[in-house]
Structure 1
Amino acid sequence: MTPPTPSKRPLWTVVVTLLLGAAALWGASRLVWSAQLREAGVRGTLLETQTGAQHSGALVPLALLGVAGVAGSIATGGWPRRVLGVILAVAGLWACWIAVDGVSFGGFPAGAPVWQVFTGRGLALLGGILVLLGGLMAIKNAGAMPRLGARYAAPSGQKTARDPDTELWEALSEGEDPTDR
């Protein structure tokens, strides 16, 4: 009896979740995260904004880690996939912390892109949650997902039951006398 082949659905779920999380983190790094008025001397007061990447330099590397997690989830299996899942879960928690750290719901200067601030932080929170979920699913389903190259692994030592006539012909082909058994 051959062992059941792993289902590809959990693997595709992890891959899609990590890709969506990485895209959300990258998108959040491009939006405005904070706006404040700054005194500019002769020019008066200026509205100074910071993007997510300027506010926290970790957003883009966390997005890249999510993309690398896709490759790692496909290529590994067993314990290495579980370790990768733990790393991704911690990265997702870190992205969530970055998204909510220092958020302010009021006190925006006139002309500030308030919708971008909340959209940017919301996308970062969503991306962090998706990377966290992808990591947790990789941990939970590490043994149930197929891995790269598993098709080419050496067969187990146990032989499957075959047709007796086929075994006789194969013994003759190998140069053995099947009647000596």
Structure 2
Amino acid sequence: MSEVPAGRPRQRRPLWIVVLSLLLGSAALWGSSQLVWDTSADRRGDEVLPSLVPLALLCLAAIAAVVALSGWARRVLGAVVVAAGGTAVFLGVTASGALPGRGLAWLGGFLVLGAGVLLVVRGGAMPRLGGGYQTPGAAKRSTDPERELWNALERGDDPTDRD
């Protein structure tokens, strides 16, 4: 029975925390835009702060980018996400309106801000989608002869054929 390296699950955990935080932050920002903020004029959050929906869409797009990017590009994305989260927090604090709508925007902003900080700090160490797979031409030769036999079987080669 082969053992999983001790650091492997820990490396994946921040990636899923970032994805979940961005998803929840996006949902909170969108939900805040749909709540009534001004009961006297019956104005919703997207009328009071038109930037809530674009910020929520940016967070959804960032989810796809997080799993596709790696290295410095992921850290740059983290800086963009930090800016989006900071903007949402600022808008939630300074906007006028009902507390539930502002509070939900504030919560969404903090979730997005936290995801962005985690991307900036740990983004380079997080795994990338499909990072464990290689094209057949790019596969490196293993120094382990047993592993090389398994690789040959996976490719459909007959490892016993010596011709």
The residue that corresponds to 2:38 in the other structure is 34
Amino acid at match of 2:144: R
- Larger RCO (CA under 8 A, 6+ residues apart): 1
Cα distance in 1, alignment partners of residues 71 and 53 from structure 2:
28
Cα distance in 1, alignment partners of residues 63 and 123 from structure 2:
13
Identify, as 1 or 2, the structure richer in strand. Answer: 1
Superposition RMSD on alpha carbons, in Å? Answer: 2.6
Aligned-residue offset at 1:160: 4.7
Aligned-residue offset at 1:92: 0.4
Identify, as 1 or 2, the structure richer in helix. Answer: 2
For 1:66, what is the secondary structure of its paired residue? Answer: helix
Alignment partner of 2:41 out of 48, 51, 68: 48
The residue that corresponds to 2:156 in the other structure is none
Aligned-residue offset at 1:162: 2.6
Aligned-residue offset at 1:5: 5.2
Alignment partner of 1:87 out of 80, 85, 96: 80
The residue that corresponds to 1:145 in the other structure is 126
Q: Provide TM-score, normalisation by structure 2.
A: 0.77
For 1:141, what is the secondary structure of its paired residue? Answer: helix
Alignment partner of 1:61 out of 54, 59, 64: 54
The residue that corresponds to 2:143 in the other structure is 161
Cα distance in 1, alignment partners of residues 128 and 145 from structure 2:
31
Cα distance in 2, alignment partners of residues 58 and 122 from structure 1:
16
Cα distance in 2, alignment partners of residues 22 and 162 from structure 1:
46
The residue that corresponds to 2:152 in the other structure is none
Cα distance in 1, alignment partners of residues 92 and 50 from structure 2:
12
Distance change (3 Å), C-alpha of 1:162 and 1:24: same
User: Is the Cα–Cα contact under 8 Å of residues 10 and 144 in structure 1 kept in the other structure?
Assistant: no
Cα distance in 1, alignment partners of residues 122 and 70 from structure 2:
10
Amino acid at match of 2:100: T
Amino acid at match of 1:147: R
For 1:131, what is the secondary structure of its paired residue? Answer: helix
Aligned-residue offset at 1:34: 2.4
Q: Provide TM-score, normalisation by structure 1.
A: 0.70
Paired residue total = 144
Question: Which structure 2 segments of 5+ residues have no match?
Answer: 150-158
Cα distance in 1, alignment partners of residues 8 and 142 from structure 2:
16
